Structure 1
Amino acid sequence: MSLNTLHDVYHHQLQDLYSACKQSMKITTELGRVASDKDLSEALIAGTTGIINGMDHIASLCAKHDLDPEGHHCKGMEGLAKEARIHAIEESFGNAATQDAAIISQYQRLVHYALAGYGTLNAFANRLGLDDDGAVLNQMLDDTYDGDRRMTDLATNHGINAAAA
């Protein structure tokens, strides 16, 4: 694919974000299985629901633009997923709370990648006059921010970081 216009970049980034979400879904499921804190595990399960929702919306946007959502593999998320697996699942931990803190850290890295993707796509859609796309992407951005804030709350107010310290 040649990226000659902002439309081209927009289309490429839609496919990239779909791939990122697909990869994030798999590792988020794994993180949810190993989390020992019940609220954290539930939040990660809710995160997978949000990821599925995002993938559905991105797939719909791709269809609207005659794109195959599977048309690109996101190397950035591939690296983040690999790092999450290494640093939150395969690592040796002194206690469960420390692993839960690592899980939150790694999950938030995944989420921040998605935030950058949704935010950029939203800006592109708005610049291109794709108001309906922009509205969908803005909602996904808001939903993703909510998930990120939930993880921060679990880490700081729920006591996971304190227990890990």
Structure 2
Amino acid sequence: MAFANLKDVYIDQLQDLYSANKQARLATQRLAAAATNADLQKALEAGVIGIENGMSALDVIITGHGETPNGEYCKGMEGLVKEAHAHALDATFTDDDVRDAVIITQYQRMVHYALAGYGCVLAFAKRLDLDAEAKTIDKCLAETYEGDRTMTDIATGGINKKAA
């Protein structure tokens, strides 16, 4: 894709974020299945729903510009998903709390990537005076922050202490 203006960059980044969410959704489903703490499992399942909601919102925005959401493949999230598999899903653990602590770590790394993506496209939408899209993206960003805070609360509320 040739970038002629900020709108081109905006669409590209929306597509990249859609791809990132698509990859993170599957990884989060697998992390939820591997988690042993009930609160963690519930939070990860809620995370899957949040990711799906974000994907739906991005789909509407992208197709509204006459583009397809699947126009980009996010290599950044691909690496984070590989890390989640290597460190949380495929690794051997002798303690469930340690695995749960690692699951939170890997999930939060993926979430932080999404936070950066949503923050960038929000700034672009505002600059392009796409107020309705900015409002939708801001909602996705806020929900992603909330999911991140929930994971921090679960980690600091007991899992990290038990894992120590």
Q: TM-score range by the shorter chain?
A: over 0.9
Residue 14 (structure 1) aligns with: 14
**Would you say 1:2 and 2:25 are equivalent positions?**
no
| One-letter amino acid of the structure 2 residue matched with residue 56 of structure 1 | S
Normalising by the residue count of structure 1, what TM-score does the alignment of the two structures yield? 0.98
- Taking the aligned partners of 1:30 and 1:37, their CA distance within structure 2 comes to 14
Residue 61 (structure 1) aligns with: 61
Residue 86 (structure 1) aligns with: 86
Residue 23 (structure 1) aligns with: 23
- Taking the aligned partners of 2:153 and 2:94, their CA distance within structure 1 comes to 23
- Taking the aligned partners of 2:14 and 2:110, their CA distance within structure 1 comes to 17
Residue 74 (structure 2) aligns with: 74
Compute the RMSD of aligned alpha carbons: 0.5
Residue 106 (structure 1) aligns with: 106
**Would you say 1:49 and 2:49 are equivalent positions?**
yes
Residue correspondences, number: 164
- Taking the aligned partners of 1:101 and 1:94, their CA distance within structure 2 comes to 13
SS at match of 2:71: coil
Residue 117 (structure 1) aligns with: 117
- Taking the aligned partners of 1:47 and 1:120, their CA distance within structure 2 comes to 21
- Taking the aligned partners of 2:8 and 2:70, their CA distance within structure 1 comes to 16
Cα drift, residue 9 of structure 1: 0.4
- Taking the aligned partners of 1:10 and 1:3, their CA distance within structure 2 comes to 10
Cα drift, residue 94 of structure 1: 2.5
Residue 164 (structure 1) aligns with: 163
| One-letter amino acid of the structure 2 residue matched with residue 94 of structure 1 | T
SS at match of 2:98: helix
- Taking the aligned partners of 1:25 and 1:124, their CA distance within structure 2 comes to 25
- Taking the aligned partners of 2:2 and 2:80, their CA distance within structure 1 comes to 26
| One-letter amino acid of the structure 2 residue matched with residue 21 of structure 1 | N
SS at match of 1:63: helix
Unaligned runs of 5+ in 1: none
Normalising by the residue count of structure 2, what TM-score does the alignment of the two structures yield? 0.99
**Per-residue Cα deviation, 1:105-125 (whole angstroms, up to 9, x for no partner):** 000000000000111000000
**Per-residue Cα deviation, 1:119-139 (whole angstroms, up to 9, x for no partner):** 100000000111111000000
Cα drift, residue 74 of structure 1: 0.4
Which aligned segments of 4 or more residues in structure 1 are displaced greater than 2 angstroms? none
Residue 150 (structure 1) aligns with: 150
